[in-house]
Amino acid sequence: MAGDRNEIEAQVLMEVVAWLRAAAALQADLAQRSGLAPADRSALQALDGIGGGRVRVGDLASALGLSSAATTGVIDRLVSAGLAAREADEHDRRVVRVRLTPLAREFAASHLAPVLQQARLAAAALDDDELQVVLDFLRNVRPTPQQPR
């Protein structure tokens, strides 16, 4: 029985590595199709992941590890491409927030649709308990910013 478990664990680890490679290839394909610089793509990911979609410029700079001048350049390019918009903060007009535009969300959704559809089909084949196990596993193995990449 232990031999079976070890073999299954090894297969799971190989699948995680294969999944990471496929995700990296998908990200590289999206990068090539978008024509965006790496910092611009990182900014889009940060905008999607922090601040509820509306991020203060300073917070975006911190998340990206860039100076405010470099972040302004990134934001300028994203705004010019129609992927982001600047907005004044409703409570403090001195604060500028940045948000993704519908175009940015449509671009991501259209390129991720095949992957998400495959995931939906796989999830539909599982019962509730199996689906919860998969969810727990994915949450436990998801890389965090503190882990080496």
62-91 burial: b if 16+ Cβ within 10 Å, else e: ebbebeeeebeebbebbeebebbbeeeeee
Quick check: 71 and 28 in contact, CB under 8 A?
Answer: no
| Residue 75 pLDDT | 95
- Tell me the CA distances in angstroms from 13 to 2, 26, 33, 125, one per residue in order: 16, 20, 30, 22
**pLDDT of 37:** 85
pLDDT-derived band at 149 (thresholds 50, 70, 90) equals: very low
pLDDT greater than 70 at residue 146: no
pLDDT, one tens digit per residue, over 68-110 is 999 999 999 999 999 999 998 888 888 889 999 999 888 877 8
Max intra-chain CA distance, the chain: 65
Predicted confidence (pLDDT) at residue 125 exceeds the cutoff of 80: yes
| Alpha carbon distance 84, 101 (integer Å) | 5
- The pLDDT value recorded for residue 31 is 77
Unique residue bearing structure tokens 């509306």: 54
Q: What is the pLDDT of residue 5?
A: 92
Task: Please determine, for residue 2, whether its predicted confidence score (pLDDT) is greater than 80.
Answer: no
Dig out the tokens for 134 from the structure: 């998969």
Sign, CA dihedral 114-23-139-57, equals: negative
Give the pLDDT confidence of 16-74 residue by residue, as tens digits.
999 999 988 888 887 787 788 888 888 988 888 876 668 889 999 999 999 999 999 99
Residue 140 is predicted with a pLDDT of 92
Q: What angle do CA 17, 48, 68 make, to 5 degrees?
A: 110
Dihedral (CA of 106, 21, 145, 39) sign: negative
Residue 27 neighbours by CB under 8 Å, 6+ apart: none
